Amino acid sequence: MNKNITSQTLSRLPLYFNYLISLPESRKSGHISATAIAEALGLNDVQVRKDLASVSNGGRPKVGYPTSELIGDIGKFLGFANHDGVIVVGMGNFGRAMLENRSFADYGFEVVGGFDCDEKLVGTEINGKPVRNVSELGSFCRERNIQIGIITVPEAAAQEVCNLMTGAGIKYILNFAPVHLSAPAGVAVHNENISLTLAMLARKTDVGDIK
Amino acid sequence: MNKNITSQTLSRLPLYFNYLISLPESRKSGHISATAIAEALGLNDVQVRKDLASVSNGGRPKVGYPTSELIGDIGKFLGFANHDGVIVVGMGNFGRAMLENRSFADYGFEVVGGFDCDEKLVGTEINGKPVRNVSELGSFCRERNIQIGIITVPEAAAQEVCNLMTGAGIKYILNFAPVHLSAPAGVAVHNENISLTLAMLARKTDVGDIK
DNA sequence: CTGATATCGATACCGGAATATCGATATTCC
DNA sequence: GGAATATCGATATTCCGGTATCGATATCAG
């Protein structure tokens, strides 16, 4: 078990995790080899073994890794046992979808509330979660020590919301507005531009040769 | 202008594009250097120059690249002048958000319709776009030669929808269900697991040392 | 017209990630 | 118990993207 890990490995761990928990119960009680996982996921076996070495105590030759233990190790490593509060700003359809997304729980996140500036929405509840006025964002986050924020507002307001969040002590921002946000050092921003993702997917193979 | 391009370059092009169109009109008529772009975006100037070489006919020493021409070249390359039809399956909040997303148009996409299996939704319109029964998906896509599909259904139904899409001749699939879908060769699937994206963002700096 | 300067394109170099190879070890079968 | 085999972990190699360097060229100043 080696705690030094690369981003690439980190990005593959959930893949292994998903694959392992999708196995029938009967197989979870036994062992599984890196070779088998690689085969199933279309990856290189050495790569899988190396990735698993980062989180697991090691497998046994000829046998492989104890499946349930491996699931536990990966899950623990990814922090799926955590319980981190998340806020969402922008209660359009996108924001609502975030409040209703049940899959966050599987990864150790809980959306604790939504924010909007539309007075008609403020005070209502979505999926049992209260919608508050954006003006309360700062105090709310500081009181509860919220560190993760999701931005689902129109692009014109995105940077402003981002500033508000960083001011409230938020450290991780997931931005769905189609603009590239910048934040001060110490704050991690991930810009998820869906149109762009689609463009890369659909255009990649169109244009010339892409290696 | 070299048509061989890497994914990494492709992913940076929109960044340049956004930066260039955000320039004041007065500067768009002139020229801009790779050095200046790199400076503004916090990148390496050689990298920018290399990227631009993939799409542009070249700049002139001491002068740089003609700004408006460069904007046109990148846009053309990214296919922003295209007009590709897209369908969305799953009319939950997430699917609705897709039908209402105006930013697709900027990237050359148009959502031409939504699909669901809920009879209460079928026949209605969302943002002026009709919601059809999933059973019509095949004929609809083949008639109009739709090649791009977005999946926003619950995870249990995702693989089934995926199969339906590939059967209907769809070539590019953007999947938001939190499962890893697989499709036959010739079909590109991008699995966008939001919980996972959030996990990578928020956990990256938590767990051990990440290089 | 000539020298200084900014910028380009090409080539060379560097580092990290993926992959291949190899010896070691555990299990299975005879 | 010993040979055959599957699998592991470690080391070596390859490949690719990013960065630095250098000569060439266009503009500008004097």
Read off the amino acid at residue A5. Answer: I
As a whole number, mean pLDDT of residues B190-208 equals: 77
Q: How far apart are CA A139 and CA B52, in angstroms?
A: 45
A120 in contact with B, Cβ within 8 Å = no
Residues A96 and A139 in one domain: yes
A185 in contact with B, Cβ within 8 Å = no
> Does residue B110 belong to any structural domain of this protein?
yes
Residues B92 and B193 in one domain: yes
Here the CATH number for the domain that contains residue A24 is 1.10.10.10
User: In chain A, at which residue ranges do the beta strands (DSSP E only) sit?
Assistant: 4-5, 31-32, 65-66, 84-89, 109-116, 125-126, 129-133, 148-151, 172-175, 188-191
Domain end point (choices A78, A111, A129): A78
> Does residue B210 belong to any structural domain of this protein?
no
Residues A88 and A14 in one domain: no
pLDDT for residue B32: 96
Render the burial of A117-155: b for 16+ CB within 10 Å, e for the rest.
eeeebbeeebeebebbebeebeebbeeeebbbbbbbbeb
Indicate whether B116 pLDDT > 90.
yes
Percent of chain A surpassing pLDDT 90: 64
As a whole number, mean pLDDT of residues A36-48 equals: 93
**pLDDT (tens digit per residue) in B125-175:** 999 999 999 999 999 999 999 999 999 999 899 999 999 999 999 999 999
| Mutation target among A194, A197, A206, A211 for the B interface, most CBs of B within 10 A | A194
Residues A26 and A122 in one domain: no
> Does residue B206 belong to any structural domain of this protein?
no
Render the burial of A5-35: b for 16+ CB within 10 Å, e for the rest.
beeebbebbbbbbbbbeeeeeeeeeebbbbe
> Does residue A93 belong to any structural domain of this protein?
yes
> Does residue A127 belong to any structural domain of this protein?
yes
Number of structural domains, chain A? 2
- For B54, other C-beta atoms within 10 Å of its C-beta total 20
- Spatial neighbors of B203 by CB under 8 A, at least 6 apart, are A10, A78, A79
Residues B60 and B143 in one domain: no
Residues B122 and B192 in one domain: yes
Q: Determine the structural domain holding residue B70 and report its residue range.
A: 7-78
Q: Using DSSP, state whether A2 is helix, strand or coil.
A: coil
Q: Which residue has the higher pLDDT, A155 or A88?
A: A88
**pLDDT (tens digit per residue) in A139-194:** 999 999 999 999 999 989 999 999 999 999 999 999 999 887 878 878 888 888 89
Residues B182 and B151 in one domain: yes
Start-end of H helices in B22-92: 25-28, 34-41, 45-55, 67-78
Indicate whether B207 pLDDT > 70.
no
A63 touches strand D (CB under 7 A): yes
Cα distances (angstroms) measured from residue A132 to each of A45, A135, B200: 49, 8, 27
Look at the alpha carbons of B7, B10, B16, B21 in this order and tell me if their dihedral is positive or negative. negative
Find the Å distance, CA of residue B64 to C1' of nucleotide C2. 24
Residue A45 to chain B, least CA–CA distance (Å) = 19
Provide the phi-psi class of A128: left if phi over 0, else alpha when psi is between -120 and 50, else beta. left
Residues A74 and A91 in one domain: no
Residues B38 and B127 in one domain: no
Q: Strand D positions with any atom < 7 Å from protein CB?
A: 5-11, 16-21, 24-27
Residue A36 to chain B, least CA–CA distance (Å) = 17
Residues A70 and A88 in one domain: no
What element of type H or E holds A100? helix A93-100
Q: Strand C positions with any atom < 7 Å from protein CB?
A: 5-11, 16-21, 24-27
Q: Answer whether A86's CB lies under 8 Å from A150's CB.
A: yes
B11 touches strand D (CB under 7 A): no
Q: Using DSSP, state whether A64 is helix, strand or coil.
A: strand
**pLDDT (tens digit per residue) in A120-138:** 999 999 999 999 999 999 9
Read off the amino acid at residue B119. Answer: E
Here the CATH number for the domain that contains residue A102 is 3.40.50.720
> Does residue A202 belong to any structural domain of this protein?
no
> Does residue B211 belong to any structural domain of this protein?
no
Domain end point (choices B54, B78, B102): B78
Indicate whether A71 pLDDT > 90.
yes
Residues B187 and B94 in one domain: yes
Indicate whether A3 pLDDT > 80.
no
> Does residue B33 belong to any structural domain of this protein?
yes
Look at the alpha carbons of A3, A108, B156, A192 in this order and tell me if their dihedral is positive or negative. negative
CA neighbor of A118 nearest in space, from A160, A158, A89, A159: A89
**pLDDT (tens digit per residue) in B42-78:** 899 999 999 999 999 888 999 999 999 999 999 988 8
Pairing outcome for strands B65-66 and B31-32: antiparallel
A204 touches strand D (CB under 7 A): no
Note the maximum CA span of chain B.
Answer: 64
Domain end point (choices A55, A78, A101): A78
pLDDT for residue A130: 97
Smallest Cβ distance to B201: which of A101, A172, A206? A172
pLDDT for residue B85: 96
pLDDT band at B40 (very low <50, low <70, confident <90, very high): very high
Residues B36 and B118 in one domain: no
Q: How far apart are CA A27 and CA B96, in angstroms?
A: 39
Contact check, Cβ <8 Å, B18/A180: yes
